Chain A
Amino acid sequence: MSEKSAQKEVIVVGGGLAGLSAAMKLCENGCRVKIVSVTKVKRSHSVCAQGGINAAVNNMGEDDSPIIHAYDTMKGGDFLANQPPILEMCLTAPAIIRMMDRFGCPFNRTPEGNLDFRRFGGTLYNRTAFCGASTGQQLLYALDEQVRRHEAKGLVQKFENHEFMRLVLDDQGVARGIVYMDLFNLKLDVLKADAVVIATGGPGLIFKYSTNSTFCTGAANGRLYEQGMKYANGEFIQIHPTAIPGPDKLRLMSESARGEGGRIWVYGDSSKMITTPEGKSIPCGETGKPWYFLEELYPAFGNLVPRDIGAREVLRVCELGLGAEGKAQVYLDLTGLSEEKHHKLESILEIYKKFTGEDPRKVPMKIFPAVHYSMGGAWVDWPAADDVDRWTRYRQMTNLPGCFNVGESDYQYHGANRLGANSLLSCIFSGLVVGGEIPRYLANLTATHRDTPASVFTEAIEREQTLKRAIMDRKGPENVHKLHDELAEWMVKNVTVKRNNRDLQLTLDKIKEIRERYRKISLDDHSQFANQTYIFANQFGPMLELALVITKGALLRNEFRGAHFKPEFPQRNDTEWIKTTIATYDKAKGEPVITYEEVDLRHLKPIMRDYSHAKKVKPTLENIPSNLQLPI
């Protein structure tokens, strides 16, 4: 190892698609990578992504193109996302698919042996590549294998079952490493590096009942936020229309079930009326007969409307008292599909059967919307290709110099609503981007962590030790798991599909109350080994701070955009609200300080989202730079 490359040390926190993609690209660019993950990276939440990954490869002769993909993504996100990163992501997508194919990711095939593509929500094109119904798992494994290849060469060192505690910032506020904890022996330690990539996924566990894995607490981003990292668009939480209710989690029922022809219905009731998107009042189907309400309300997209719309319509139908078996649930019907289609969806059909005991090939599934994805996340920079300061700024870097953020934990690509099968793409893409930006960042540094005084590291670790002792020593009547239940109940009720300002304010106050009571918890476990009660109690503090960010952002945004639906303000308000919400931590104030930032709409002017009679369009994007350099 030469002197120069020995200095290119990078820490990647999180080993899902984004973290592994970053680690792989960093190795290729001559860095040595330390991966810190709360679990074996192969078990990361990316495995849960079922349906697929979007790329306008145009293998199906539909005249699809990355430009249309970018157009769909900008429009699907209701014009809240900055457009330059979307453009480059969609342009890179076909190369990402080809790369993953070369890695051996077992994509489904056509008879000729080419990759097969299916249709997903929010688009009229078959542009979703897939591996059965566990695409995320297969993509993650393919990257895990590539990272293992670099690990075998000695370029990667893994710290699995270790958790990120805090960023070490030097006197100039520049990242120089992290404090992390061994989740087995609870020891705190420091890792030094001049760049840190955070790829820790979403904060679904704030809602407790979500489609997320139990790893997805959002604690890492919460901790960074408390250290001064700006958090953007927190209020945009995607609710997936179709999940299987359960006592421990809400299990995702992939959009691919509808992509392959699954239909959503309830028994109709012609005595009840519903308003269509055009404002017409129509009866709720025929009494006693299946009413395919999405197909009737949105003839063009039908069951494949974007997720925010799907979730709202399911809720609306249930609120009319039409829920299946009188409960808050609707039917997702795959019984009419061919054996071949059932086979393609086998793994998700098996999951439904395993968890409910019913065979979805024979009886319709019962599903309900669930918290699924956070469009918001760490604010990160994106100098566009033709910006004059392109090469003095760094893409995917947070406002904390040297600290980058990628994947679901950043805010960059999905605006107010994410399209299905775009998340796997944005994870891999942002990881590849950061893999190119960091070597340049490191090359431009004038000092390294070797020049940082030792006291900076000892102080950082002491702060965490003090916090650990404080949490262990707390003595009071409260139980952290019950506080979590209480937080979740408020968040799910008031900060998901339908929001109103009165309840949002009450929720904000409630979170603060829970935060006070959190100081009066007693742990049921005080041992120093694999103490999960302490580990969770330690995560719960930063989770509460992010809950405030989500709720306050929602309270202040008086409009209806994407996943943020407020019946008091039923219109998208482009004159006042095309802006990114930025939350900054303020300990003294006790709640987030919210400011706003302009959205970069240089490629496509906002148009209304219309999914009832949209036709295939040949959109043009403006101001496409001629000097684009894609990451692969």
Chain B
Amino acid sequence: MENARYILKIFRGHPGNQYWEEFELQNEPYANVISSLMEIQKNPINRQGKKVEPVVWEQGCLEEVCGSCSMLINGRPRQACTALINVIIEETKNTTITLAPFSKFPLVRDLIVDRDSMFENLKKAHAWIDVDSTFDRGFGPKISPEKQEMMYALSTCMTCGCCVEACPQVNAKSKFMGPQIFSQVRLFNANPTGMHQKAKRLHAVMQEGGISDCGHAQNCVKVCPKNIPLTDSIAAIGRDTTLQAFKDIFSLPDRE
């Protein structure tokens, strides 16, 4: 298997002008999609033997912690750096691997899309802790190891967009924010300081396109490269927003 050749079939091009192009490559041990794209960059000759413009893509850490290299690999949203060629060939029994840019975000070029909307959602959802200043005021509140572990898991979200891409509710006809943001609302609301702005965050996801637009397809949790319990978060935030809706009518701040 290791010396075999394989084909990368890439959906590439500019907005309004996308097409499939194939490249044939020599399989190397431990090759992954990024190292294959690097080979194409060095020697951009397609399967017809024609020299073409090198494929462009986003990359960063190559260790699956930065979230840069998201793309559709054989139709599945994932990080390209951990997509090992041999593993894919073994799983699919097919030496052709397709690569395509995410479809739920505006295309930039080839495999690059603009994922700005996810970062805008972080702003809308007040995804930070309101501290008074950087000056030394001692440690923050104590947190149990169990709670820390849960918060850490939620906090490993790389804003890579796999969950958004996989979600059927995110489409041209809907305003749904996508699954990513609810785990962040959950994270900051769990923080003993962050919980003071709990209502603010919940209100942000109670708008049009918010949590009520989730269709419970559960695709998000299946594709998350960090195994973040995205659907648990959606359930938890769904409950919190319902309570919040009542509080908005009946509650008094000092009674919280």
Contacts and interface: CB of A to CB of B under 8 A. Distances in A.
A596 interface: no
A530 interface: yes
A524 B144 CA distance: 55
A574 interface: no
Contact of A248 (B14, B54, B62, B143): B62
Interface in A595-632: 632
B252 to A, nearest CB: 27
A95 B67 CA distance: 30
9 A-B pairs with the lowest CB-CB distances in the bound complex, closest first: A113-B142, A145-B128, A248-B35, A530-B109, A95-B136, A43-B66, A102-B140, A106-B152, A104-B129
Interface in B220-247: none
A481 B35 CA distance: 13
A138 B155 contact: yes
A632 B135 contact: yes
Contacts of A351: 63-64
A247 B37 CA distance: 12
Interface in B80-98: 81-82, 84, 87
Contacts of B142: 109, 112-114
Contacts of A132: 152, 156
Interface string A104-141: 10111111111100000000000000011010011001
Contacts of A213: 60-62, 66
A482 interface: yes
A106 B31 CA distance: 34
Contacts of B148: 106-109
Interface string B47-62: 0000101101011111
A89 to B, nearest CB: 15
Contact of B152 (A115, A138, A482): A138
A40 B133 CA distance: 25
B66 A248 contact: no
B205 interface: no
A249 B60 CA distance: 11
B123 interface: yes
Interface string A35-73: 000011011110110000000000000000000000000
B137 A102 contact: yes
Nearest to B34: A248
12 contacts: A40-B119, A43-B67, A48-B61, A98-B136, A103-B129, A108-B145, A114-B139, A184-B108, A249-B62, A482-B42, A530-B109, A532-B41
A134 B156 contact: yes
B28 interface: yes
Nearest to A211: B63
A114 B141 CA distance: 9
A343 to B, nearest CB: 9
A517 interface: no
A102 B56 contact: no
A137 B145 contact: no
Given A48-B65, A104-B140, A108-B145, A357 B108 contact: no
A24 interface: yes
Nearest to B133: A28
B140 A101 contact: yes
B42 A214 contact: no
B168 interface: no
A524 B44 contact: yes
Nearest to B115: A40
A254 to B, nearest CB: 11
A356 B32 CA distance: 11
Given A104-B193, A109-B145, A530-B112, A481 B61 contact: no
Contacts of A138: 152, 155
A146 B56 contact: no
Given A148-B123, A479-B42, A482-B42, A131 B152 contact: yes
B51 A45 contact: no
Contacts of A184: 108-109
A111 B144 CA distance: 6
Given A42-B67, A106-B155, A112-B142, A529 B35 contact: no
A355 interface: yes
Contacts of B4: none
A22 to B, nearest CB: 12
A107 B128 CA distance: 16
Given A43-B60, A47-B61, A529-B109, A432 B134 contact: yes
Interface in B179-238: 188, 191, 193-194
B30 interface: yes
B170 interface: no
B38 interface: yes
Contacts of B130: 149
A110 B143 CA distance: 9
B190 to A, nearest CB: 9
Contacts of B122: 145, 148
Contacts of A131: 152, 155
Interface of A: 24-25, 28, 39-40, 42-45, 47-48, 95, 98-99, 101-104, 106-115, 131-132, 134, 137-138, 141, 145-146, 148-149, 151-152, 184, 213-215, 246-249, 251-252, 347, 351, 354-357, 432, 479, 481-482, 485, 524-525, 527, 529-533, 632
Nearest to A435: B134
B82 A104 contact: no
B208 to A, nearest CB: 20
Interface of B: 14, 28-32, 34-35, 38, 41-42, 44, 51, 53-54, 56, 58-68, 81-82, 84, 87, 108-110, 112, 115, 119, 122-123, 127-131, 133-140, 142-145, 148, 151-152, 155-156, 158-159, 188, 191, 193-194
B54 A533 contact: yes
B60 A214 contact: yes
Nearest to B129: A104
Nearest to A141: B155
A481 B41 contact: yes
A436 to B, nearest CB: 10
Contacts of B84: 354-355, 357
B62 A251 contact: yes
Given A101-B140, A251-B62, A481 B42 contact: yes
B139 A101 contact: yes
A529 B15 CA distance: 11
Nearest to B123: A152
A45 B60 CA distance: 7
A354 B38 CA distance: 20
A45 to B, nearest CB: 7
Contact of A247 (B28, B60, B109, B156): B28
Contacts of B34: 248
A146 to B, nearest CB: 6
Nearest to A481: B42
Contacts of A356: 30
Contacts of B30: 246-247, 355-356
Given A148-B127, A214-B59, A249-B63, 17 more contacts: A42-B67, A98-B137, A98-B139, A98-B140, A106-B155, A108-B148, A109-B145, A109-B148, A132-B152, A146-B128, A213-B60, A213-B62, A246-B30, A247-B32, A482-B42, A485-B42, A632-B135
B135 to A, nearest CB: 5
Contacts of B133: 28
Nearest to A149: B128
A215 B60 contact: yes
